[in-house]
Copies of this chain bind each other. A is one copy, B any other.
Amino acid sequence: MERKRGNQTVFFNNKPKIIGHYSIVGPKEGKGHLRKYFSQIEEKDDFFGQKTYEKAERVMIERALDGAIKSANAKYSDVHLFMAGDLLNQIISSSYAARSFDIPYVGVFGACSTMAESLALSACLVDGGHFDTIACATSSHFSTAERQFRFPLELGNQRPPTSQWTVTGSGADVVSIKGNGPRITSATFGKVTDFGINDVNNMGAAMAPAAMNTLIAHFKDTNTTPDDYDLILSGDLGKLGSEILIDLMEDQGYKLGLNYKDCGQMIFKRNQNVLMGGSGCGCSATVFNSIIMKKLIAGEYKKVLFMATGALLSTTSSQQGDTVPGIAHAVVIEGVEK
């Protein structure tokens, strides 16, 4: 059967469904706006019972994967592939978490776009009939990200006003051709976009142009407008990045209205001292796999455009004077079929 294809957008004929989902967060996220929606909150501290933050991060992925599979009423042996990635060098959180499961594994990397990237790829593989059931996950951890990308926490450095706060959390989904759940109906794969931002404390601005490109490609490929979605959800542009996106879109003739939200602005409360809001792979992963999935399942949202953005830099690229390229991948998720 010939599949419908747009320039950057693929359409899924066989209705891959999200039959399981799970979100786990740290104490700070648990005190935020979405407290009642998360599957699990670690209240005590962000070590998750481990000796290092890096080991804590992989425990989050393990618990998220385990929880998503259980929430799908599935067994490990029902899951034919695990697809994951994260921000740590060589995505060790994902790979070491995968070690605990007897499931074939592929690593992916899209920085903070990883949740959308892995959902999009999983939907392709399930829709194409190569796998019945795939689990995908991503994570981030404030303390591992800070010491890898910025400064050791012990230094107590001041944070610039444009900075965001890396979410400590992990989200996982089980995508399957069987079972029931919200359907992934299309995916738009983004292009790397670089508008010359070189301020590593202003990721929102670096990612907004990529978000704009992917949104416009999506609307053109699918012949839709922002009004066709109950919710357009960006990953972690934060307050500044979202405002830039709204302006950029308006310049291109697209009005993002009240149905546009950003995970980075949803997760924390104003008094939590997070400046421009949440960020990190775990930001969109936990917001999507808490309030958004619950509202999709409840029928409150019928059609959601979930677009996660990533800043594709490393400390080495910054030290060598490179600007920060961004990317954004988007998936359309529609409510449970009656």
Contacts and interface: CB of A to CB of B under 8 A. Distances in A.
Interface of A: 1-3, 5, 8, 10, 52, 54-55, 80-81, 85, 87-92, 95-96, 98-99, 102-111, 117, 121, 124-125, 127-132, 148, 189-194, 312-317, 320, 322, 325, 327, 329
Contacts of A121: 106, 121, 125
Given A109-B108, A109-B109, A99 B325 contact: yes
B96 A54 contact: no
Given A107-B110, A108-B108, 18 more contacts: A10-B131, A54-B316, A55-B320, A85-B109, A87-B90, A89-B89, A89-B90, A89-B316, A91-B109, A92-B313, A104-B191, A107-B108, A107-B109, A107-B312, A121-B125, A124-B128, A124-B130, A127-B128
A312 B109 contact: no
How many copies make up the complex? 2
Leading 4 A-B pairs by shortest Cβ distance:
A128-B128, A104-B189, A95-B312, A90-B314
A130 B92 CA distance: 30
A96 B312 contact: yes
A10 B128 CA distance: 11
A320 B54 contact: yes
A252 B322 CA distance: 50
Contacts of A132: 5
B90 A111 contact: yes
A55 B316 CA distance: 10
Nearest to A10: B130
A327 B84 CA distance: 14
B89 A192 contact: no
B117 A106 contact: yes
A314 B92 contact: yes
B320 A3 contact: no
A127 B130 CA distance: 9
Given A96-B325, A106-B108, A89 B129 contact: no
A105 B313 contact: no
Contact of A88 (B107, B124, B314): B314
B129 A1 contact: yes
Contact of A314 (B89, B99, B191): B89
Contacts of A107: 85, 108-110, 117, 312
Contact of A124 (B91, B95, B124, B315): B124
Contacts of A2: 129
Nearest to A104: B189
Choose among A3, A95, A320 the residue with the greatest number of B CB atoms under 10 Å from its CB: A95
Nearest to A111: B90
A289 to B, nearest CB: 21
11 contacts: A1-B129, A8-B104, A10-B130, A81-B189, A89-B316, A92-B312, A98-B191, A99-B325, A104-B191, A105-B327, A121-B121
